[in-house]
């Protein structure tokens, strides 16, 4: 018997006919066993593969039942007994791995890679790839393995293409490569192969166009440069450049955007200077640019030079004359001017900063007397000559930095790829400085990447071993920075040491207030590449900042007071027309606000309390709520169980945001009097684990009389009315709040009210009004920069649009929401978007696709606290899918799971969804009166029917037709009039599905 998992999961008899395997659970189980054919798979791994990290109760017993059913299916299909074996360690599919297509695929690709014969290589890869019939595992069982197999398939396809290109099959591969590159637009190897195929087919212009498009895409989407493989393919099209006299690097060059700017500058200017901090890669960039220049190049290393003209003479191979003759040059500079007068040359002067004045004098003379001369200098400060073009060299982009680390790591620790997450952390901590990254990669001889990342707090001790042959200033990270520090004067060192207090850079006013620094001294630090200036802000690289912090006086108290005042000035603006400006200002200072908060949490706890209070609404609007609890814990521990005088509100705001506050908040809440100075205290309290009804009423009574507070109170009143089923009253509250927030210019408040009003319009079937309100809510959330909220609103808009029958518009919203959720790292919103795509597939009749979408979504919504609403929706949608396939028992279990979750979270609208699904099950069993009753219960719990719900409408139509209109109406009315408490109690006892 043969087994196939590279596509839909199948078991085939010897004659090739398939065995009927049953539903997705059994196919998923077989896939997991086949992946490890011949080896024992533990029950735990099987359960995890079938259910994810949060399996249902009784999963072990269910697994035994599923194994029994799988054995029976295989036996009925002609398989011998004992094909699925049980051992104390787990279960085993007792077959030769070569009876499973994935193992044959891996064997064939391994053989192909071992052979040097391109023709045999092509044949083996072609045979291996022919085993694929679609996506691996067909969306079933263990999505991470499916993704890994998809990557193996793509890599094998690329290897087959390489074999074809080696045999000269350029023309036949162009069309295939174009399609593959379209499917994988950021896959650089495929694009490199397409460039090679087009070039080999005589279509070099198209090859260059493909490269240009890819380079632009990489820059726009990833901020990255082309990989070495893609760059090499490009250079092959351009043809090999003439031989150049420049140092030959020992390691591959990691592309960076400055190279193109530098190449352009060298074409248009006679003097170009690369400026930037030590270790930024100026020398390597100069070497790479010089290698692209046609004609003669002379590279001069000045790091140890004290006499610049003589160093240049030596590099050019020119001699000073020992005996003066009439008309002969009188000194090294004269000899250079004479020797270069008619000589076209690019002169590269490397590491000029310590002799910058001497270099400037020589370059000014030579450029004035030698018409064919061009100069490329590297220095930590400009030469300061008229006509000089500066090309600043900064940090590597994240992608290029990671590639550099990985490349260098492969050289020192071959055979084991470093953890990508650790690589990202290392490169970010080292500011993307190439030299620091290379020093860090060298430590992989004795440490893992995770260990290196964890030890970067003492980066100077960690990165203290480099190339023995390098200049001393390039052997260690400390040496790199000390070289620049020694070039500063006393005032510059003093200001640099103080500036290190800023975690995220600073505006000029902040530097003046916190550091007592003058503009002239600050300008000197910029000119010497110790401080960067861009967008109106000064900034130090983190490595330089760490060094300066060791040499500066402590300015943290002044820093904390400055940023407390800054936050206090901007906090009121977050609740009005200046909301966007205030958010932008606070976001720009986010790193320093949090640095001030972390320091004051133990040093000045009362300052920390004030900071937490004035930043709380900023955190809420920006979706940064998870950053606060650890700091709040520290502040509470420092202050104790009672608030300082006059800081009761601040203390409560701190306590409700702490991760595990043990202080008694309720007595403090009851002592508050007068209008709340921070009206959003009520909202933050409502979302905290400390919520108690009586305290909520107390806080609500303290919401002030100002316009924002009253508009905010209206949102709470509207929600309360909605939860009690008084929809008309809720709509009045939300409408009044919307008008007030619009008058104030508060986008958050308006978006919140609009979403609720849109929900009611959707329930009534007023699709045009729903779309109008939701469009405005989505737009306002987007203006706030609330990526998470905007993605969630897109899902909510898609729900209503889908109910209105516009599946394509709904798909566009769900896909846009998924894209934003991935970018923001919000798995719940991504789960909701995937569930929506499952709804679209289900309504289109593609039940297999719907199951795949629901399964993928449920794996992301496992959090028992935050994932409740999403799991309700997903289990309900899954239930409708199972019911459509005739699996009523499975549908019942899914609806009961949704109902239990809804009741656990006191989510009555969610309970209504689940109960409507259960009504569908009863209708499928012809228990029509009970089904009609449950449909009424659902409307009663929700407070209103939902117009346009095709699933519920279909159930109602079937039941009404069989019962008759009068009997249906009577049963429905009984359900709708049932008191919510009684309905919830019965639902909690899970009696609805039993027909009792």
**Contact present, 496 and 531 (Cβ < 8 Å):** yes
Cα–Cα distance measured from residue 973 to residue 953, given in angstroms and rounded to the nearest whole number: 16
Give long-range contacts, CB 8 A cutoff, 24+ apart: 33-36: 33/84, 33/91, 33/92, 33/93, 34/3, 34/5, 34/9, 34/93, 34/100, 34/102, 35/5, 35/100, 35/102, 35/142, 35/145, 36/93
3-class DSSP state of 210? helix
Phi, psi at 350, each rounded to 5°: -100, 135
Cα–Cα distance measured from residue 521 to residue 234, given in angstroms and rounded to the nearest whole number: 46
Cα–Cα distance measured from residue 33 to residue 93, given in angstroms and rounded to the nearest whole number: 6
**Contact present, 597 and 611 (Cβ < 8 Å):** yes
* Residue 167 burial (CB count, 10 A): 12
pLDDT at 320: 53
Reduce the secondary structure of 593-626 to three states and give it as a string: HHHHHHHHHHHCHHHHHHHHHHHHHHHHHHCCHH
Residues in the chain with pLDDT < 70? Answer: 138-143, 205, 238-252, 254-255, 317-330, 445-446, 457-477, 479-480, 483, 625-626, 660-662, 684-701, 723-725, 863-867, 984-996
Minimal CA–CA distance to 478: which of 551, 382, 398?
A: 551
**R_g of the chain computed on alpha carbons:** 35
Cα–Cα distance measured from residue 178 to residue 54, given in angstroms and rounded to the nearest whole number: 42
Cα–Cα distance measured from residue 615 to residue 574, given in angstroms and rounded to the nearest whole number: 10
**Contact present, 407 and 252 (Cβ < 8 Å):** yes
Cα–Cα distance measured from residue 199 to residue 209, given in angstroms and rounded to the nearest whole number: 11
Left (φ > 0), alpha (ψ -120 to 50) or beta: where does 948 sit?
left
Cα–Cα distance measured from residue 918 to residue 896, given in angstroms and rounded to the nearest whole number: 8
Cα–Cα distance measured from residue 309 to residue 945, given in angstroms and rounded to the nearest whole number: 89
Phi, psi at 893, each rounded to 5°: -60, -40
pLDDT at 328: 45
**Contact present, 703 and 713 (Cβ < 8 Å):** yes
Minimal CA–CA distance to 782: which of 619, 605, 583?
A: 583
CA angle 874, 54, 40 (to 5 degrees): 120
Cα distance between the two ends of the chain? 48
Cα–Cα distance measured from residue 337 to residue 367, given in angstroms and rounded to the nearest whole number: 9
pLDDT at 524: 86
**Contact present, 955 and 938 (Cβ < 8 Å):** no
Minimal CA–CA distance to 152: which of 89, 206, 101, 198?
A: 101
Q: Could you tell me the CA-to-CA distances from 124 to 40, 110, 127, 133 in Å, in that order?
A: 30, 9, 5, 17
* Residue 642 burial (CB count, 10 A): 12
pLDDT at 580: 92
Minimal CA–CA distance to 930: which of 877, 887, 968, 889?
A: 968
**Contact present, 478 and 460 (Cβ < 8 Å):** yes
pLDDT at 993: 44
pLDDT at 141: 53
Sheet containing 297-301, strands listed edge to edge, beginning at the edge strand earlier in sequence:
297-301, 345-350, 373-379, 271-275, 389-392
Please state the pTM of the whole predicted model. Answer: 0.58
pLDDT digits (tens, 9 = 90+) for 135-145: 887 656 566 77
Helices (H) and strands (E) in the chain, counts: 49, 12
**Contact present, 158 and 128 (Cβ < 8 Å):** no
pLDDT at 422: 86
pLDDT digits (tens, 9 = 90+) for 26-64: 888 888 898 889 899 898 888 887 877 777 887 888 888
**Contact present, 427 and 398 (Cβ < 8 Å):** yes
Cα–Cα distance measured from residue 431 to residue 543, given in angstroms and rounded to the nearest whole number: 7
**Contact present, 835 and 876 (Cβ < 8 Å):** no
β partners of residue 348:
299, 376
Cα–Cα distance measured from residue 793 to residue 829, given in angstroms and rounded to the nearest whole number: 10
Minimal CA–CA distance to 652: which of 666, 638, 631?
A: 666
Minimal CA–CA distance to 283: which of 482, 434, 466?
A: 434
* Residue 131 burial (CB count, 10 A): 15
């Amino acid at each position: 018997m043969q087994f196939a998992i590279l596509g839909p999961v199948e078991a085939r008899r010897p004659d090739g006919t398939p065995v009927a395997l049953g539903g997705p659970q059994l196919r998923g189980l077989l896939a997991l066993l086949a992946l490890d054919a011949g080896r024992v798979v533990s029950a735990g791994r099987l359960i995890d593969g079938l259910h994810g990290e949060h399996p249902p109760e009784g999963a072990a017993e269910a697994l035994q039942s599923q194994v029994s059913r799988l054995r029976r299916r295989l036996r009925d299909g002609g398989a011998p007994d004992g094909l699925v074996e049980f051992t104390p360690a787990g279960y085993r599919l007792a077959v030769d791995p070569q009876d499973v297509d994935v193992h044959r695929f891996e064997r064939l690709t391994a053989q192909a890679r071992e052979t040097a014969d391109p023709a045999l290589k092509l044949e083996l890869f072609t045979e291996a790839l022919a085993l694929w019939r679609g996506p691996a595992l067909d969306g079933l069982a263990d999505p991470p393995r499916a993704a890994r197999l998809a990557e193996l398939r793509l890599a094998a396809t690329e290897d087959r293409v390489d074999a074809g290109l080696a045999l000269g099959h350029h023309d036949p591969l162009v069309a295939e490569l174009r399609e593959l590159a379209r499917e994988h637009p950021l896959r650089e190897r495929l694009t490199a192969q397409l460039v090679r195929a087009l070039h080999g087919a005589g279509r070099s212009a198209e090859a260059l166009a493909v490269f240009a498009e890819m380079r632009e895409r990489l820059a726009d989407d990833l901020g990255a440069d082309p990989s070495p493989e893609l760059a090499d393919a490009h250079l092959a099209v351009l043809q090999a450049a003439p031989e150049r006299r420049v140092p030959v690097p020992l390691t591959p060059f990691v592309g960076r955007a400055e190279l193109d700017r530098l190449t352009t500058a060298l074409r248009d200017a006679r003097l170009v200077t690369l400026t930037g901090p030590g270790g930024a890669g100026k020398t390597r960039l100069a070497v790479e640019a010089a290698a692209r220049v046609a004609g003669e190049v002379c590279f001069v290393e000045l790091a140890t030079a004290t006499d610049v003209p003589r160093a240049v003479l030596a590099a050019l191979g020119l001699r000073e004359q020992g005996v003066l003759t009439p008309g002969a040059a009188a000194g090294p500079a004269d000899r250079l001017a004479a020797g270069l007068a008619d000589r076209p040359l690019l002169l590269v002067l490397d590491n000029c900063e310590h002799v910058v004045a001497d270099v400037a004098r020589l370059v000014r003379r030579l450029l004035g007397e030698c018409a064919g001369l061009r100069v490329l200098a590297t220095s930590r400060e400009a030469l300061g000559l008229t006509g000089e073009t500066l090309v600043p060299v900064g940090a590597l982009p994240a992608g290029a930095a990671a590639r550099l680390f990985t490349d260098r790591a492969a050289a020192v620790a071959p055979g084991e790829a470093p953890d990508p997450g650790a690589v990202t952390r290392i490169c970010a901590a080292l500011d993307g400085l190439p030299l620091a990254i290379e020093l860090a990669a060298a430590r992989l001889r004795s440490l893992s990447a995770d260990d290196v990342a964890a030890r970067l707090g003492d980066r100077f001790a960690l990165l203290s071993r480099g190339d023995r042959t390098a200049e001393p200033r390039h052997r260690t990270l400390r040496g790199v920075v000390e070289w620049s520090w020694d070039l500063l004067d006393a005032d510059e060192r003093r200001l640099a040491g103080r500036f290190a207090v800023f975690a995220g850079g600073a505006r000029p006013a902040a530097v003046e207030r916190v550091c007592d620094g003058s503009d002239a001294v600050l300008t000197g630090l910029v000119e010497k590449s110790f401080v960067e200036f861009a967008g109106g802000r000064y900034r130090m690289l983190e490595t330089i900042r760490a060094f300066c912090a060791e040499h500066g006086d402590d300015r943290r108290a002044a820093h904390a007071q400055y940023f407390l005042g800054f936050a206090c000035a901007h906090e009121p603006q977050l609740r009005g027309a200046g909301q966007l400006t205030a958010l932008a200002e606070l976001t720009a200072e986010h790193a320093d606000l949090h640095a001030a908060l972390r320091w004051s949490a133990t040093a000045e706890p009362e300052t920390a309390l004030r900071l937490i209070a004035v930043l709380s609404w900023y955190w809420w609007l920006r979706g940064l709520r998870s950053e606060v609890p650890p700091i709040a814990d520290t502040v509470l521990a420092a202050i104790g169980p009672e608030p300082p005088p006059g800081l009761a509100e601040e203390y409560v705001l701190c306590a409700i945001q702490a991760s595990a506050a043990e202080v008694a908040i309720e007595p403090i809440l009851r002592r508050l009097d007068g209008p709340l100075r921070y009206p959003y205290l009520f909202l933050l309290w409502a979302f905290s684990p400390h919520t108690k009804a009586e305290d909520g009423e107390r806080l609500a009574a303290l919401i002030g009389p100002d316009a924002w507070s009253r508009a905010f109170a209206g949102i709470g009143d509207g929600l309360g009315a909605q939860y009690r089923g008084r929809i008309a009253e809720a709509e009045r509250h939300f409408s009044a709040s919307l008008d007030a927030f619009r008058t104030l210019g508060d986008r958050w408040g308006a978006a919140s009210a609009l979403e609720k009003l849109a929900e009611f319009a959707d329930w009534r079937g007023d699709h045009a009004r729903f779309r109008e309100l939701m469009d405005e809510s989505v737009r306002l959330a987007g203006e706030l920069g609330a990526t998470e909220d905007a993605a969630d609103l897109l899902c909510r808009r898609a729900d209503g649009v889908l109910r209105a029958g516009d599946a394509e518009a709904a798909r566009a919203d769900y896909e846009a929401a998924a894209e934003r959720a991935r970018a923001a790292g919000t798995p719940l919103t991504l789960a909701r978007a995937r569930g929506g795509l499952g709804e679209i597939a289900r309504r289109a009749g593609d039940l297999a696709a719907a199951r795949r979408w629901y399964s993928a979504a449920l794996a992301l919504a496992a959090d028992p606290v935050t994932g409740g609403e999403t799991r309700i929706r997903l289990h309900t949608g899954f239930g409708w899918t199972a019911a459509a396939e005739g699996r009523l028992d499975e549908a019942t279990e899914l609806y009961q799971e949704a109902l239990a979750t809804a009741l656990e979270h006191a989510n009555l609208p969610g309970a209504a969804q689940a109960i409507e699904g259960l009504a569908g099950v009863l209708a499928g069993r012809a228990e029509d009166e009970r089904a009609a009753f449950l449909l009424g219960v659902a409307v009663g719990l929700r407070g209103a029917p939902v117009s346009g719900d095709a699933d519920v409408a279909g159930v109602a139509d079937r039941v009404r037709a069989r019962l008759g209109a009068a009997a249906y109406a009577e049963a429905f009315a009984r359900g709708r009039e049932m008191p919510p408490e009684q309905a919830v109690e019965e639902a909690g006892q899970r009696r609805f599905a039993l027909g009792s």
